[in-house]
Structures are given as structure tokens and as C-alpha cells.
Amino acid sequence: MSKKSIFIPTPQTKMTQSQRPITSTLLDKMEDGREFESLLKYQYQELNFLSELRKSINEIKAIRGREIICYVANVVKPSAAISIEDADDLPFYEMVSSLPADCKEIDIVLVTPGGYAHQVAKFVNKLRPRFDRITFVLLNKTMSAGTIFIMSGDEIIMSNQSQIGPVDPQVRTKTGEFVPAQSILTLIEDIRLRGDEAIKKGGKPSWTDIQILNGIDPKEIGNALNASNYSIQLVEEYLHNFKFKDWNLHSDGVTPVTAEEKKARANEIAKLLCDHSKWKNHGHAITREAAWEVCKLRITHSESVEGLDRAMRRMWALFYWVFENTPISKAFISENYCIMRAANQNNPKN
């Protein structure tokens, strides 16, 4: 949207700024397979990047045949203001409300490092009573609370650069730091097992383990248990009620899927996604292949829909360029709604 010229130097070329072609567009200059790099060859004047983003939205809309809303955080240059938080409630609600009244199917383009699970629940409570079918289109990272969010959809579309993550929440310790709740519970369980083993052999629990336990605030344990159970509960509920609602036959195409089987599979996936001992790291990237092979979670590959993978690459390159060249930390964008944030806010968690 800025009218001043923007110049981005690259090491691959020695062209000076004055030698670079001038353009006022981004999408029209993208080269397939080198979407982002191709944008670095130009200097930009009279550039309206909101208009470019809406062109990209329309590219995906033409392919998908449904309304598109984008909730995209700046994971390129992360800051405290990019997480899902309470302040997102009103702009998200307004963006959804701006859609045509007769709209019953939508695609949600989502990029997020995570955030607060209770805010995700508020998003879902706004969306599911209104829309018959919701598809999440994942351009890049959709981690933690974002992964909980996508479980409320009927379909999840991922490209080969998309990733989801464990949903084990983070809780604040007495020092003010945030740590994965499951890591606290795993540590306590390990200490218990070692202590039981020592007692069986006629010994005592180790002094070091006792000191570690003494250093853990009981409130931390309670918070860790509650937060973990809440994440598991949401994932199980969303999978059972939404993602699995049309799962009627097993892979043999004959055997019916019972309500008990849906609930059992939903619980299995929810517990697995919240299992710190499985993923080891809250930021572990779960690819679309791992989502199916490990979690048994059906994912639509973007390449399976003609033109969609290209359109998703172009949109992500566009957002990437905007995030690198502007102070924007989060964007709520549709065809007829736009709020872009560039605030320094704290408290990213989950």
C-alpha cells in the first residue's frame, strides 16, 4: 500500500537499484517454482499489497468455488503479537460476519504459531453453528492451538511445505517462563518410576529427584494437568463432531464405522498429539505424511486439486514478501474485510 519505492538487494546479482525494473505489482511478476525469489528482482512503486493479496484470494476462490477468509500470522519474523489471543476475537468475528448471509461453505487460510486454546474454542463456536462445511488451507506453520483449530474442520488441505504441531499446551512456571505442560508431567512420572524402583530394591528415592520435586510449585502441576486435559478434550470433541462426521465406512469400503469407533479414534489422536514423550519438542513439525502415517489423520494434498498447489505457493510467497518488508504481525483478510496488525503485544502461548 505504500507509495514509496521499495528495494531489496540480493547476493545473486550486482544490479544497482536504478538498474532494476520498476513495477507496481507482485503476483504478475512471480515465476513458478521461484515465487519469492522472483519478487526480489524488482523495485516497487505505487504498490498496493492489499490489492495483491485479494487477487491471490480470488485465485484460490476460483479454484475452490467458495468464500475465503485468511487468518495469517507473521511466522517469518516472529514477535509476541503473532499468537492466537483474546484480542483476535472481534476482528475474526467481523471478518466472518462480513461473508454473504447465504454462504454455508468456507475455506479458512491459516498460518499461526499457536496461542490460547480457549480463544480457538471461541472461534469454533462462531463458525460451526453457521457453516455446513469448513476447510482449512494450510500455507505453512499451523502449530499448537492452531492444530487444535483445524480439527474443527471437515477437511484439511496441506502442501509439502505445510506443517502442524503437537497440542501439548505451555504453562507459566513460578519464574515467569512458559514450558510445555506435558514436560512437567513427564518429569514427575519419570521421578516416580525411579523412586518406586529404588524402594523395591530396599533403597530410597534419589536426593536429586527429591530436590527437583520440591522445586515444582503444586500449582504448576495442577495447571499442567488442566491445560493438557483441555487440549485433549477439544481435539477429541472437534474430531468426533466435525472431522469424522462423514466417516461412515472403513477403508474396505464396506464395514460401517460405529459412533464408538469414531470416539475411540478421536481420543487416540487427541492423546497422541498431546504426548510430549512422543514428539519431544513443542515446536516439532508434523508433516502431512506424518499426520497420516503416525496420527492416522486424513489430509488432502494440495496437488490433488488442479491449480491449488500453485495458488497456495503464490499466496505464501506474497505473504512472505509482505512480512519481510512491512511491520505487519498478523492479517485478517477476505474479499471485503481487512485488518492488519503491527502491535507489540505479549503473551503468546499454547
Confidence of residue 205 (pLDDT cuts 50, 70, 90): confident
pTM of the model: 0.83
Q: Are 138 and 110 in contact (CB under 8 A)?
A: yes
Identity of the residue numbered 108: I
Tens-place pLDDT, residues 210-252: 776 676 666 666 566 677 889 999 999 999 999 999 888 888 8
Chain segment 25-39, per-residue pLDDT in tens: 999 999 999 999 999
| Confidence at residue 315, expressed as pLDDT on a 0 to 100 scale | 98
Rounded distance, CA 257 to CA 247, Å? 7
HSE-up (13 A, CA, CB side) for residue 187 = 18
Cα(38)–Cα(33) distance, integer angstroms: 9
What is the spatial distance between Cα 263 and Cα 241, in angstroms, rounded to a whole number?
Answer: 9
Strand ranges, E, within 281-349: 300-301, 330-334, 337-341
Give the span between the Cα atoms of 69 and 110, in whole angstroms.
Answer: 9
| Contacts of residue 196, Cβ cutoff 8 Å, sequence gap at least 6 | none
Mean pLDDT of 124-144: 97
Taking Cα atoms as reference points, which of 8, 131, 145 lies closest to residue 73?
A: 145
Cβ contact 124:211 at 8 Å: no
CATH number of 52-165+297-341: 3.90.226
Q: 3-state DSSP call for residue 174?
A: coil
- Is the predicted pLDDT of residue 208 greater than 90, yes or no? no
Query: Is the pLDDT higher at 184 or at 291?
Result: 291
- How many residues in total does the chain contain? 350
SS3 43: strand
8-state DSSP, 84? B
Counting Cα atoms < 13 Å in the Cβ hemisphere of 171 gives 24
Band (pLDDT 50/70/90 cuts) for residue 6 is very low
Helix axes 308-325, 49-64, angle to 10 degrees: 160
Q: How do the domains of the chain map onto residue ranges?
A: 52-165+297-341, 168-284
Q: Pick the residue with more confidence: 256 or 8? A: 256
Q: How confident is the model at residue 81 (pLDDT cuts 50, 70, 90)?
A: confident
| Residue whose C-alpha is closest to residue 144's, from 125, 116, 124 | 116
